[in-house]
Amino acid sequence: MSAPNPLPLLLLVVLALAWIVWLWTQPRRLALRRRRLQAAPFPEDWERILRRRVPLTRSMPAELLAQLKGHMQVFVAEKAFIGCEGQAITDEVRVTVAAQACLLLLNRPTGYYPRLRQVLVYPRAFWVLHTHPDEHGLVHGGREARVGESWDEGQVILAWDETRDSARIPDDAFNVVLHEFAHQLDAENGLTNGAPELGSAQRHARWAEVMRQAFVELQAQVARGEETVLDPYGASEPAEFFAVATEAFFERGQDLRQTQPAVYAELAGFYHVDPATW
């Protein structure tokens, strides 16, 4: 009786070890790849698109703008852009979206929206099916037009006309990309509730109290029909309040700091930038 051939078992052991080594070194290889992308020359065509399509970046400090450009190159390399209903995906689309999404990543460690796999872009507002229960517990469904959505399943969906137009006006506190990517950050700790990952229980407690008070105040202002720095849509729920506050933080920083200094301070502590000084 012949002895069993040890080669298949040895091959399995080698493959298993290779898989373990690959998994162990993957974070290091990813970090190295990202550093290379960040250090690569920023394309001249992208530079022209950035200045034309995202005027908010024109007043940024030089060191932040350089950091932004590096983040953009990583973002575009790692995230799939998919055109829907005939929308072409061009450098103009990629650069315009990436620039605004990466504004939220400056000056802090980032996984580049680790849950996000793809950005779907429609030419204009798109229809989605939503269901909601009424006061009797009956569930109703219907189609709603949207210009942006953020999904926990790895997608951000944008209407290109709103993306382009909201970026064109850098001081109106309306920016669909900032809004939807704030939702992505909000969801990174597993809950989309208006409280992103803050690092400590103390910071979470302070954030919760500041944002709760501001949320209640915004609801009262909206009920009275008052004009507010924050989009009234932020009064609908805490998650929308955080997204709306993010828009105002980057686009009307001075106004937000003056009217809601505690909210501005919390956002500055989270985003590690001070756009009121740009």
| Mean per-residue pLDDT pooled into runs of 10, the chain (278 residues) | 65 62 68 96 98 96 98 98 98 98 96 96 86 58 81 94 96 97 95 93 97 98 96 97 98 97 98 97
Q: Are 253 and 178 in contact (CB under 8 A)?
A: no
Residue 33 identity (one-letter amino acid): R
The sheet carrying 118-122 orders its strands as: 80-83, 118-122, 155-159, 148-151
Model pLDDT, residue 128: 78
The predicted structure's pLDDT at residue 10: 67
pLDDT for 81: 98
Determine the 3-state secondary structure of 193 from DSSP. Answer: coil
Q: pLDDT at position 153, please?
A: 85
Residue 28 pLDDT: 86
pLDDT for position 5? 66
* pLDDT at residue 152, as a whole number: 84
Distance between CA atoms of 33 and 74, rounded to whole angstroms? 9
Helices (H), 44-198: 44-53, 62-78, 91-102, 160-168, 176-186
| pLDDT at res. 268 | 98
Q: Fill in the DSSP letter of residue 114.
A: T
CA distance 154 to 184: 9
Domains of the chain: 193-278 (3.40.390.10)
β-strands 118-122, 155-159: how paired?
A: parallel
| CA distance linking residue 141 with residue 132, whole number of Å | 6
Contact status, residue 140 vs residue 132, Cβ threshold 8 Å: yes
For residue 143, give the H/E element and its range: strand 139-146
Strand partners, 159: 122
Phi-psi region of 107 (alpha: psi -120 to 50; beta: other; left: phi over 0): left
Q: Could you give the CA distance from residue 104 to residue 163 in angstroms, rounded to a whole number?
A: 16
Entry pTM? 0.87
Q: Where are the beta strands (DSSP E) in the chain?
A: 80-83, 118-122, 126-133, 139-146, 148-151, 155-159
Q: Which amino acid is at 271?
A: Y
Mapped onto helix, strand or coil, the DSSP state of residue 253 is helix
